Amino acid sequence: MADPGTDGPGDGQPAAGTTTAPAPAPAAPPRAGTILTRGAAPASGASPAPSPAPAGNGTPPGQGAPDAPPAGDWRADFTDPELKTSRVLDKFTGKEALAKSYIELQQLIAPGNDAKPEVLERWRKHIGVPADPTGYVLPDPPSGTRDGATLTLAQQHFRDAGLMPWQAAKMAALFDTVESHREDLLRSEYAKGVDSLEQEWGAERFAQQTTLAARAIAFLDDQETEPAKRLAPWLDQTGHGDHPVLIRTLAKIGDMLEEHRLIDPQLPGMPGKTEAQAELDRINADPKHPAHNPDDPGHLAAFARKEGLYKLIHGTREVVQR
């Protein structure tokens, strides 16, 4: 028997006539978990399948699940994946910041009636409202230049209402259209009143009375005052010179001024009261005058002349035939 402390023949080779058992295979590395938790064992001799790459980092765009919010992110409890990973929300530090931004946005869109002055100013600036009322440039109305006081008042109201410049221009144009329509209606009513007055007075008396009214205006107007502040230009500008009540009133004033010889009693193209009375007396004294003879071809014209003279002298009383 060989010495256990020495090697056998051949230094590690098996002795003749003996049999050496095959060396055991190297042990497999330990596998974590159990079969049920790690899946079925691979077939004998097959390489284990590679583990799938985690989604997120390293995943090509458009593939796999979106990046999860980092730990501690205020969006972690969101249920919508798009909200969790939206880059738009990255600038907000939390839900309160997001809510505050939303409120500010709503105030820019349409501030409420109880909005603070600074909120209203921020809204006005955002939509392009001029910082000063004079920033509104409004077109002149069709009738001419816009009155300075009216322009200033409109600009201030437009600023308070928060109108944009184009909206203010539209409002001014609408006002001009309404005002023009109102003036047209007023002049139409004046024209009807003047026609009625002419029928009441007759053509000759109407011409006399309107001339007296015009002379009364010239007498009452302060000639030392600048023209823009006189009565006659105002009557022409506003159209009130055609107001039948004013015509009647000023004609009476003119008649009183004529009686006191404060204005020229002789009206151009018309007889004065003295001349009219003299002509009427001649007609009444002539029984053969066409005005008294219905069969005369010139009766209608002569009678109309007599009636006009009477109205010229006595006003609207009917002619008394003699």
Q: Please report whether residue 294 resides in a domain.
A: yes
Q: Which residues contact 88 (CB under 8 A, 6 or more apart)?
A: none
What is residue 107's predicted lDDT score, i.e. its pLDDT? 64
Q: Please report whether residue 113 resides in a domain.
A: yes
Among 225, 217, 223, 227, which residue's Cα sits nearest to residue 251? Answer: 217
Q: Please report whether residue 187 resides in a domain.
A: no
Pair (286, 264) in one structural domain: no
Pair (207, 252) in one structural domain: yes
**What are φ and ψ of residue 8, in 5° steps?**
-80, 180
Q: Please report whether residue 23 resides in a domain.
A: no
Q: Please report whether residue 319 resides in a domain.
A: yes
For range 60-64, the mean pLDDT: 52
Name the residue range of residue 283's domain: 271-322
For range 277-290, the mean pLDDT: 89
pLDDT band with cut points at 50, 70 and 90 for residue 143: confident
Q: Is the pLDDT of residue 17 over 80?
A: no
What's the number of domains the chain is made of? 4
Pair (255, 281) in one structural domain: no
Q: Please report whether residue 19 resides in a domain.
A: no
Q: Which residues contact 2 (CB under 8 A, 6 or more apart)?
A: 8
pLDDT tens, 175-219? 999 988 998 898 899 999 999 999 988 887 888 888 888 888 888
Question: What mean pLDDT is reported for the chain?
Answer: 75
Q: Is the pLDDT of residue 35 over 50?
A: no
Residue with more model confidence, 2 or 303:
303
Among 61, 95, 127, the domain-final residue is 127
Given a contact cutoff of 8 angstroms between Cβ atoms, the answer to whether 130 and 159 are in contact is yes
Pair (279, 266) in one structural domain: no
Q: Please report whether residue 48 resides in a domain.
A: no
How large a percentage of the chain has pLDDT more than 70?
68
Q: Please report whether residue 44 resides in a domain.
A: no
Pair (119, 77) in one structural domain: yes
Pair (234, 253) in one structural domain: yes
- The residue whose two tokens read 């909005």 is 115
Pair (263, 294) in one structural domain: no
Q: Please give the Cα distance from 61 to 74 (Å, whole number).
A: 24
For range 82-90, the mean pLDDT: 86
Q: Please give the Cα distance from 171 to 48 (Å, whole number).
A: 81
pTM: 0.43
What is residue 160's predicted lDDT score, i.e. its pLDDT? 86
Among 180, 215, 242, the domain-final residue is 180
What is residue 40's predicted lDDT score, i.e. its pLDDT? 46
Q: Is the pLDDT of residue 24 over 90?
A: no
Pair (101, 146) in one structural domain: no
